[in-house]
Amino acid sequence: MKLIGKLAAAFLIALMLGLGSAWAVINNMLPFAGRGGTVQNSAWTTSLLTGSNAADPYTRAIVARSGLLALDKSETVYFTAFTDDGGEALQTGCTYGISGSRLPARWWSITAYGADHFLIPNEDGKYSEDKNSLTWLGDGAEQRFFFTVGPDAKSGDFIPTGHEEESAPFSLTLRLYNPEPQVIETPGDITLPTLTKERCQ
């Protein structure tokens, strides 16, 4: 009887450890696993393995959780930010200024997602800004855009993060459709939009 008890305990502990660690990896909570091909560019991270057949089992599992049915890098390169430029987690209760210049792709957009990886409910039904929807300031190659992301973002270009009672983490995804070669060759060196925290509630 003692042996059966011990075996059952070992089995349960192994099950919890095994499934718990797998869940942690799949949710990208561990810094080491599945990081092959991951590139950091300021606050933004991308994995050029997303959507490709060369993806290792860890990348494939992470993509199945947070980027299922993604496109391969020649169609779209996805950059995701979970933090601002200061390295602090993006929070729906804070307001951020996002600024940048022309991006090397045929078309691009920036979308906000809640902690559940779905679009954040808000009164305006507005979830993204893109190359065509933004107001461009200045001329030629010097042209810049600026928009705000936050609970009370209402003027100019903006993405609202809703009015949930408690501030929750959120993330931003920048999609570059049909990116220029430099995006795939040196994703860590291209200039991406800046994410500056302006204020918190």
- Interface pick for another protein out of 81, 98, 120, 153 (rule CB under 8 A): 120
Contacts of residue 166, Cβ cutoff 8 Å, sequence gap at least 6: 93
Output 68 or 141, the one with its CB closest to another protein. 68
Contact between 125 and another protein by CB under 8 A: the answer reads: yes
CA–CA gap between residue 54 and residue 41 (Å, rounded): 22
81-89, 102-110, 134-142, 183-191 -> range binding another protein (CB under 8 A): 102-110
Residues 42-71 as x/- pattern, contact with another protein by CB under 8 A: ---------xxx-x-xx-xx-xxxxxxxxx
Contact between 122 and another protein by CB under 8 A: the answer reads: yes
Output 29 or 198, the one with its CB closest to another protein. 29
Give the closest residue to 147 by CA, choosing from 83, 93, 96. 96
Contact between 133 and another protein by CB under 8 A: the answer reads: yes
DSSP 9-65: HHHHHHHHHHHHHHHHHHTT-SSSTT-TTEEEETTEEEETTTT-TT--HHHHHHHHH
Question: Which spans of this chain sit near another protein (rule: CB under 8 A)?
Answer: 6, 10-11, 13-15, 17-19, 21-23, 25-26, 51-53, 55, 57-58, 60-61, 63-72, 74-75, 106-107, 109, 111, 113, 117-122, 125, 127-128, 130, 132-133, 173, 175, 177-178
